[in-house]
Amino acid sequence: MKLLSAPKRDPFYQQLTALVFPIMIQSFMLALVSATDAAMLGIVNQESLSAVSLAGQVQFVLNLFVTGIAAGTGIIAAQYWGKGDPASIEQVIPVALRANLICGVLFTLCAFFAPRWLMLIFTDELPLIELGAAYLRAVSSSYLLCAISQIYLIVLKNTGAAAMSSRISSSAVVLNIDDDHLDYFGTVENAMRSFTRFAGMARRVLYNGDDANTVRAMEAAPTPEKLTFGRGEENDFWPAHLQKEDGLCRSFTLMHRGEALCRLTIHVPGEHNILNAVAAAAMAWLLGVAPEAIAVHLAQFTGAGRRFEVLGKVRGVTIVDDYAHHPAELAATLRAAKELGFRQVWAVFQPFTFSRTYLLLEEFAAALSIADQVVLSPIMGSREKNQWGIRSEDLGAKLPGCVCLPGFPEMADYVMENAQEGDLVLTLGCGDVYKCARMMLLK
């Protein structure tokens, strides 16, 4: 099979060269500074070197201020950017620019007009103070230039002008877009716009062609190369000849535009993990990994922590922990569990955040109804106050036979008293419900 290769004059390599050359020059200058330090040992005395080293702490303190302002501005701007609020970003950036400029001017003035006072912060030895003061006067203007350069970086990072470095060298994978984290995004449309911007920063994006939200978001992305994966051959990559092996094992043939690339085996359950494997394998192949190597390493993957993690068995009852906390994740995990041939599947669920539980109450009920038995803990509010007045009992009322209990000890006792040999107990949620699973293992 012919792997991907790039012509000598591929625009990608031309852009990469333009990006790497300034970085190479910067690295050379840093190495030159180190070499100069070594050379200075044979030219100037130890006292001069000590004075300059102490005076250099002024630059360190300045860096704390200007990089702190730059980093803080980036975090705040990212929050507003995710909410689709560029007007607020335009208000934040000028404040950061003024703060950095003020820092640069103050440090420059102090270094030029009061260098001895600055040196007194670090030493009381007069010779070191005099030598350090001379150094500070000489480099004082560089502090202003440092602040200005940070201002330049703030503007670059928060206006999208810095995207080229990642766009020409990165690939992205988008699995799906659900109506999650609405306390941040507000609407699923805002979440989709955020994914559009994310994909636009990559040179290549591989996305789920079966997910309507993802398809809409990716259609608007300016990414140069777009490819899809999914269940059917209308996608660029898809699984064919699916076969269920023993236990959690599944195998399929990875297809690419009518061509069979390799046979893959995975050891995690559920159709969603088949699609995850298709996406991972397809991206690896696009990046030049040999199909044979993809097959070998994927077969060695037995799952991540808190993702259908089998913790053990107690009196014939299998205890599994999973991070699923959104209705779509719960449904995928519970459907996968139902296919494994257990007598009954128990969903021991800890709802996470009041807003998610309130906004997606019907969806949670539909997902949890896949299980044979449901046990609910109180809602873990995390960062939120319960302004909606929502309780786990509101969810339990929509699930016949559901049991709501006040804490993990009571839940563990109830489940292990009622579960029978051959049952599967799944603790579900992104909070600390895994503690309940550990309690069950001790029963």
Non-local (6+) Cβ contacts of 296 within 8 A are none
Contact 239, 215 (CB under 8 A): no
CA angle 352–355–360, rounded 5-degree value: 85
**Structural tokens at position 117:** 């006072």
Is pLDDT larger for residue 16 or for residue 65? 65
Q: Map residue 86 onto helix, strand or coil.
A: helix
Cα separation, 162 vs 158, whole angstroms: 8
Cα separation, 191 vs 183, whole angstroms: 11
What DSSP element (H or E) covers 174? strand 171-174
Whether 41 shows a pLDDT value over 60: the answer reads no
Q: 75-90 in b/e burial notation, b at 16+ Cβ within 10 A?
A: ebbeebbbebeeeebe
Q: Across all residues in the chain, what is the average pLDDT? A: 86
Sheet holding 309-314, edge to edge: 309-314, 317-322, 424-428, 345-349, 373-376, 403-404
Whether 283 shows a pLDDT value over 50: the answer reads yes
Contact 334, 426 (CB under 8 A): yes
Q: What is the rounded average pLDDT of the residues 173-191? A: 90
CA angle 13–18–23, rounded 5-degree value: 115
Q: Read off the amino acid at residue 372.
A: D
pLDDT in tens, 350-404: 999 999 999 999 999 999 999 999 999 999 998 889 999 999 999 999 999 999 9
Contact 77, 158 (CB under 8 A): yes
Whether 6 shows a pLDDT value over 90: the answer reads no
pLDDT in tens, 404-430: 999 999 999 999 999 999 999 999 999
Non-local (6+) Cβ contacts of 236 within 8 A are 206, 209, 227, 228, 229, 256, 257, 282
- Residue 20 banded pLDDT, cuts 50, 70, 90: low
- The pLDDT value recorded for residue 177 is 95
Domains of the chain: residue spans and CATH: 44-165 (no CATH), 172-299 (3.40.1190.10), 309-441 (3.90.190.20)
Contact 364, 392 (CB under 8 A): no
Q: At what angle do helices 212-219 and 188-200 cross, to 10 degrees?
A: 50
Non-local (6+) Cβ contacts of 413 within 8 A are 443
Strands 317-322 and 309-314: antiparallel
Is pLDDT larger for residue 56 or for residue 279? 279
- The pLDDT value recorded for residue 9 is 47
Q: 105-115 in b/e burial notation, b at 16+ Cβ within 10 A?
A: eebbebbeeeb
Contact 388, 354 (CB under 8 A): yes
**Structural tokens at position 233:** 């051959």
Residue with tokens 């990089």: 67
Non-local (6+) Cβ contacts of 22 within 8 A are none
Contact 138, 111 (CB under 8 A): no
Q: What is the rounded average pLDDT of the residues 68-75? A: 79
The whole-model pTM stands at 0.61
Is pLDDT larger for residue 433 or for residue 50? 433
